[in-house]
Amino acid sequence: MKELNIDATVENIGAVTDFVNEQLEFHGCSLKVQTQIDIAIDELFGNIAQYAYNPDVGPATVRVELKEDPLAVVITFIDNGVPYDPLKNEDPDISLSAEERKIGGLGIYMVKKTMDGVSYEYKDGRNILRITKNI
């Protein structure tokens, strides 16, 4: 397991992405899977940066683990911000036009559709969001 402790800011999304990609490349992850994970990082870490400590800045931890059988990467996002389970929101109705849809929710919907697993728990004063992607 590799771990990065970093301030939860929008400016640090690139550093988090680079950290995760370094681990993915080390394990021979395909470019397609890496791109899907990069999009998930942008959405999830971006949400932490914008909402967890708003208007302040707080710490976040990103962990990357490799699991076997099936071979998968598990990325865990941890923050001490406001408790928030993004998985409780209803999925957006993608059959509606952009003008007809409610604002919000499309990013986490994309994460749920492209990852092989997404889970959330609030434990010991921390938001813990995990995504799993088979590689």
Q: Which two tokens stand for residue 49?
A: 């940066």
The number of folded domains in the chain is 1
**CA-based radius of gyration for the chain:** 15
Q: Give the type of residue at 57.
A: V
Condensed to tens digits (0 to 9), the pLDDT of residues 49-74 reads 999 998 999 999 999 999 998 899 99
Q: CA distances (Å), 51 to each of 61, 85, 88, 110, in order?
A: 15, 12, 16, 19
Query: Which CATH number characterizes residue 88's domain?
Result: 3.30.565.10
Each residue's pLDDT tens digit, 4-52: 999 999 999 999 999 999 999 988 899 999 999 999 999 999 999 999 9
| Single pTM value for the model | 0.91
Question: What is the C-alpha separation between 55 and 129, in angstroms, rounded?
Answer: 21
Cα(117)–Cα(134) distance, integer angstroms: 9
Task: Supply the range of the domain harboring residue 15.
Answer: 2-134
